[in-house]
A and B are shown apart, each in its own frame.
Chain A
């Protein structure tokens, strides 16, 4: 626990972050879906992006690895190993994909090619990089074993439709790991799975992080997932950062009413309902953001100032807040 808060502090000068995202903006034809989002991922650490659907968390993660839809454009800076990927030549960006940054997508039944064997899909990046056939096979079996698939020999020759959801997600993780990346982006890796399987996949991700020192960007709407895996969280609302800071501290003592509402809606671990109650009111659309603070129509604390003035993301310095706490609430100090 103590180790936790020390290592996460942004003021820590021992490690320059491996990934540094600064003022990222993603614009679709209908408007900006990500608005000035900044965060870092130090080597071996996990940063969580959390928010309801439409908060821009997935767009943020996809912008990092250059997998936005054709119609989207990103600006700002995505500094990866001292190079801004947003302006890097396409060749370099392709080289980063898969080999330096791997991606685990949301719904493994859709994200796997239905007409290729699992082994072929896991081994594709290795084959492409010129590894001889027999070695590719050996590596594929090793990867499948590593993500906890029983009987890798047999599974490598199966097709995705012959597998369960949890197994497919393990395959997806094996694909993401195949190019030996240093950072893995996991976009809602457990959302499409049932509760028991969710727990197993989370344990696998946590294990990869612990044992292999993999850095991760975890995208999720599920606070329990975050509490489980993330070191640092970025809470997003309507394309903007609502609150940001060390995961444990943010979840224990939120400085934004939105985070507090999210946390209050998390069912207890012992609860039998797996799905969190949705927050009252509809999430604000980034295309039609309310004036002032975008959260004000749903906020129990909203005052006149919240309707007129857009709150800036500011560091919380009050005593007891701990280091590295940021909130975009005019009345952050009154939240907890």
Chain B
């Protein structure tokens, strides 16, 4: 049944989250600079440091620390942010919507533009249109996003003065970072769609569709596209997670007030609580998105539904 499939995936997801929590815990312990030392700065006396270590529980055995950390994490408590002087998760969640907006905008652009490009190219494999599009998407995928971002700022914001270069909040500010973030993703979606469409075009049922007197457009939208989308959905599910990571860089370039911006600052400040909270939140999102992708393609292809039932 679909339910067992869902439960199994859910269990795998929870296991992965536990893994992420463990990794985050260990990395912070391994990283140079004790949290207490960093928090109090170079002028702190050894007594002050020892006191803070005690408050933070850093003087306890690692295993106890680990169990406490897990227990707190389950309740969403990642400790206090030194820099912001309030719960780390609160600071992270405050920035989260801006990142979600940016990521969603980039995803929508990538899906729409990528699928259109892929269908146009894959419709006639080997044609001039196909070769041009494929070369272009390969090139776009290879460009480093931060460089593209800086170029876009130079041309559109500084020279042409069409769009603002930095800041956040409204649609105007969203366009440049969203486009920048979407470029490699658009190229990827385009390439996956293209190969799916090209493969589907050679299937016998496409000829059946033509034998019904459908126009080429109806054949593409009614028969080819949905059959080519399973790999696209998988890639989108996986990539949206990666996009959250990519957003870190892009947010810095465009001073977009999101999670990435916060995370980069927190790493610089050794604000470990914020780093942990942000990392775990991103991980949970990625896992959730992958689960959603699994469910989506079971919906797309009845044969997968059948396998899931077994």
Binding site for B on A (CB under 8 A): 65, 67, 70, 94-99, 102-103, 105-107, 110-116, 121, 124-125, 128, 159, 161, 172, 175-176, 178-179
Complex contact B213–A96 (CB within 8 A): yes
Q: Please measure, in the bound complex, the distance between the C-alpha atom of A116 and the C-alpha atom of B223, giving whole angstroms.
A: 9
Q: Please measure, in the bound complex, the distance between the C-alpha atom of A116 and the C-alpha atom of B224, giving whole angstroms.
A: 11
**Residue of chain B at shortest CB distance from A99:** B213
Choose from A70, A112, A159 the contact partner of B208 (Cβ within 8 Å).
A112
Choose from B211, B212, B214, B300 the contact partner of A115 (Cβ within 8 Å).
B300
Complex contact A107–B212 (CB within 8 A): no
Chain A hits for B306, CB < 8 A: 161
B228 CB to closest chain A CB (Å) equals: 11
A60 CB to closest chain B CB (Å) equals: 16
Complex contact A97–B203 (CB within 8 A): no
Complex contact B205–A112 (CB within 8 A): yes
Complex contact A114–B222 (CB within 8 A): no
Chain A hits for B204, CB < 8 A: 105-107, 110-111
Choose from A70, A98, A107, A161 the contact partner of B211 (Cβ within 8 Å).
A98
Choose from B124, B208, B302 the contact partner of A105 (Cβ within 8 Å).
B208
Chain B hits for A102, CB < 8 A: 211
Complex contact B212–A124 (CB within 8 A): yes
Choose from B124, B205, B212, B215 the contact partner of A114 (Cβ within 8 Å).
B205
Whether a CB of chain A sits under 8 angstroms from the CB of B310 is: no
Sorted from nearest, which 5 A-B pairs have the closest CB atoms? A110-B204, A97-B213, A98-B213, A103-B211, A98-B212
Complex contact B212–A67 (CB within 8 A): no
Chain B hits for A125, CB < 8 A: 212-213
Q: Which of B208, B210, B300, B306 has the most CB of A within 10 A?
A: B208
**Residue of chain B at shortest CB distance from A120:** B222
Complex contact A114–B211 (CB within 8 A): no
Complex contact B208–A113 (CB within 8 A): yes
How many A-B residue pairs have C-beta atoms within 8 angstroms? Tell me.
76
Q: Please measure, in the bound complex, the distance between the C-alpha atom of A161 and the C-alpha atom of B212, giving whole angstroms.
A: 21
Choose from A114, A121, A128 the contact partner of B218 (Cβ within 8 Å).
A128
Chain A hits for B124, CB < 8 A: 70
Q: A67-B210, A128-B212 are in contact. Are A115 and B227 (CB under 8 A)?
A: yes
Q: Please measure, in the bound complex, the distance between the C-alpha atom of A107 and the C-alpha atom of B204, giving whole angstroms.
A: 8
Chain A hits for B94, CB < 8 A: none
B303 CB to closest chain A CB (Å) equals: 6
Whether a CB of chain A sits under 8 angstroms from the CB of B72 is: no
Q: Please measure, in the bound complex, the distance between the C-alpha atom of A114 and the C-alpha atom of B304, giving whole angstroms.
A: 11
Q: Please measure, in the bound complex, the distance between the C-alpha atom of A114 and the C-alpha atom of B218, giving whole angstroms.
A: 17
Q: Please measure, in the bound complex, the distance between the C-alpha atom of A113 and the C-alpha atom of B210, giving whole angstroms.
A: 12
Complex contact B211–A67 (CB within 8 A): yes
Q: Please measure, in the bound complex, the distance between the C-alpha atom of A65 and the C-alpha atom of B211, giving whole angstroms.
A: 8
Whether a CB of chain A sits under 8 angstroms from the CB of B209 is: yes
**Residue of chain A at shortest CB distance from B226:** A115
**Residue of chain B at shortest CB distance from A109:** B204
Whether a CB of chain A sits under 8 angstroms from the CB of B207 is: yes
Some 14 contacts from A to B, beta carbons below 8 A apart, are A65-B211, A67-B211, A94-B213, A97-B212, A103-B208, A105-B211, A110-B203, A110-B205, A114-B227, A115-B301, A116-B223, A125-B213, A128-B218, A175-B208
Q: A161-B303, A161-B306 are in contact. Are A113 and B205 (CB under 8 A)?
A: yes
